[in-house]
Chains A and B, each alone.
Chain A
């Protein structure tokens, strides 16, 4: 998050007095924060938070090999499969959203509105429960492990498919209408206009938003916990139960791994964002990366 001096509208360039005041404010806030952190540190040290054994035990090489790594792998696997599913669904529903036929637009709109209003947790857990009640996947020969993966991926795909569809739609709507008109004017058919003129620009325009959403999807794999999918968070809890003294430490390690994954990916998103900017038709509003919480309407730029 680099800040150029112009990135805030609130301040003029500070004069000598202003600079002095700012420096004093810096020193005071610095002291306040350092003081707070020191206090918290002392408190934690009192509770043995920093004891070496508490950090070393759950990071034993055997534990890493047999618990952390498989957990990381299943998290990544779910994220990857979920991303593929979400992208497929997102493209299908997104194209439905901008279809020429009102009926298709209606169905796609209902899909988007419904699934964006549902908590992802329910979208994972409810199909899993229904399936449990009827035994559909078991009769299809999917074992318990595969069943959890299936329903986690299904939930992630269905939910993020709705979000991605919205991103796709706003990406297409953000293009100036003249682009499509120009396509029609030179005699392209609707499909050709879409394929040759509109989509390439729209896709480039919304790529950052899509990637940001996929980072969120990665974080959301943690929700597999409710159906005991053995992902990072789930296994961290298991490890924590085995090393009761290190419970907090184990959870912090897991959170740190998530942080590194998501943070690293979002750095890549920023790079992509920089590279793709300014290659779209003039007047195209950029698709803001959706408020990167778990959901977030991709804000059509006012």
Chain B
């Protein structure tokens, strides 16, 4: 079953590494854009709200794969050429940002109105009440959903194989397609499944823990 085991491990290891860093960088991009979107959503300037709403609606209702296609196959047609890994990060980041924005916004909105009122009534300024009262509580409620977004992003990162980024799934596909006689189908499949479990199960474990702790803390 395990002929050429070390070659397989090598390829999968590289793929796992690409999956991890693409996910990590995309998640940071998504957090930045998402925070911006959440701020635009709660801001008193209507144009900012409209743009944020349009962005969210657009990216939530178009399949990620279609977005990646538009970026990687479509944009070169209007003269914007980037290497595929950059498109992968832009695509995953902008897509996930819509969900991050919604999560952060609902986190802020989940705080009871009385908290803000209490903060103001003891004389805290807007900035102070945000910093000391609202955001710490909002942050706690959004940790679990942000964690689920991270696991979803790990899984979504497999889609970038269609634009030629050599991440985990792409490596598995290559191993199976190119080397049908040299690599055992089952070994590759078990390997790739194990890799995703190794990345995702700890995250969902920590989400559950964070969720329980958040429950006690309020």
Bound-state CA distance A247–B46 (Å) is 35
Q: Does A42 contact B (CB under 8 A)?
A: no
CB contacts (< 8 Å) of B218 on chain A: these are: 302
Q: Which of B148-203 contact A (CB under 8 A)?
A: 148-149, 151-152, 154-159, 161-162, 169, 172-173, 176, 180, 185, 189, 192-193, 196-197, 200-201
A299 touches B113 (CB 8 A): no
B155 touches A294 (CB 8 A): yes
B155 touches A251 (CB 8 A): no
* Given A10-B130, A10-B134, A225-B65: A33 touches B70 (CB 8 Å cut-off): no
A121 touches B158 (CB 8 A): yes
Which of A9, A49, A219 lies at the interface centre, i.e. has the most chain B CB atoms within 10 A of its CB?
Answer: A9
Residue in chain A with minimal CB distance to B120: A12
B47 touches A26 (CB 8 A): yes
CB contacts (< 8 Å) of B73 on chain A: these are: 237, 240, 247-248, 251
A8 touches B201 (CB 8 A): no
Q: Does B67 contact A (CB under 8 A)?
A: yes
Bound-state CA distance A240–B74 (Å) is 9
The secondary structure that dominates the B interface is helix
Bound-state CA distance A132–B192 (Å) is 19
Bound-state CA distance A9–B117 (Å) is 8
Q: Does B62 contact A (CB under 8 A)?
A: yes
* Given A22-B44, A117-B197, A119-B196: A233 touches B148 (CB 8 Å cut-off): no
CB contacts (< 8 Å) of A255 on chain B: these are: 62-63, 66-67, 70
Residue in chain B with minimal CB distance to A130: B185
Q: Does A29 contact B (CB under 8 A)?
A: yes
CB contacts (< 8 Å) of B42 on chain A: these are: 8, 10-11
Q: Does A71 contact B (CB under 8 A)?
A: no
Q: Does B207 contact A (CB under 8 A)?
A: yes
The bracket for how many chain B residues form the interface is 35 or more
Task: Give the number of residue pairs across the A-B interface with Cβ within 8 Å.
Answer: 206
Q: Which of A57-65, A179-187, A203-211, A259-267 contacts B (4 or more CB under 8 A)?
A: A259-267
Q: Does A111 contact B (CB under 8 A)?
A: no
B45-80 vs A, Cβ < 8 Å mask (1 yes, 0 no): 111110101000110111111110110011101110
Q: Does B128 contact A (CB under 8 A)?
A: no
Residue in chain A with minimal CB distance to B205: A113
Q: Which of B5-13, B82-90, B103-111 contacts A (4 or more CB under 8 A)?
A: B103-111
Q: Does A30 contact B (CB under 8 A)?
A: yes
CB contacts (< 8 Å) of B176 on chain A: these are: 129
Q: Does A1 contact B (CB under 8 A)?
A: yes
* Given A118-B193, A255-B67: A219 touches B45 (CB 8 Å cut-off): no
Q: How many residues of A contact B (CB 8 A)?
A: 70
Q: Does B96 contact A (CB under 8 A)?
A: yes
Residue in chain B with minimal CB distance to A34: B47
Bound-state CA distance A225–B63 (Å) is 12
CB contacts (< 8 Å) of A222 on chain B: these are: 63-66
Supplied contacts A33-B47, A116-B151, A125-B173, 7 more A-B pairs, CB within 8 Å: A26-B47, A219-B61, A240-B73, A247-B73, A291-B102, A293-B152, A295-B155
Enumerate chain B interface residues (CB-CB to A < 8 A): 42-49, 51, 53, 57-58, 60-67, 69-70, 73-75, 77-79, 96, 99, 102-103, 108-109, 111-113, 115-116, 120, 126, 130, 134, 141, 144-145, 148-149, 151-152, 154-159, 161-162, 169, 172-173, 176, 180, 185, 189, 192-193, 196-197, 200-201, 204, 207, 211, 214-215, 218
Enumerate chain A interface residues (CB-CB to B < 8 A): 1, 3, 6-12, 14, 18, 21-22, 25-26, 28-30, 33, 43-44, 47, 49, 113-114, 116-122, 125-126, 129-130, 133, 219-220, 222-223, 225-226, 233, 236-237, 240, 245, 247-248, 251-252, 254-255, 258-259, 262-263, 266, 290-297, 299-300, 302
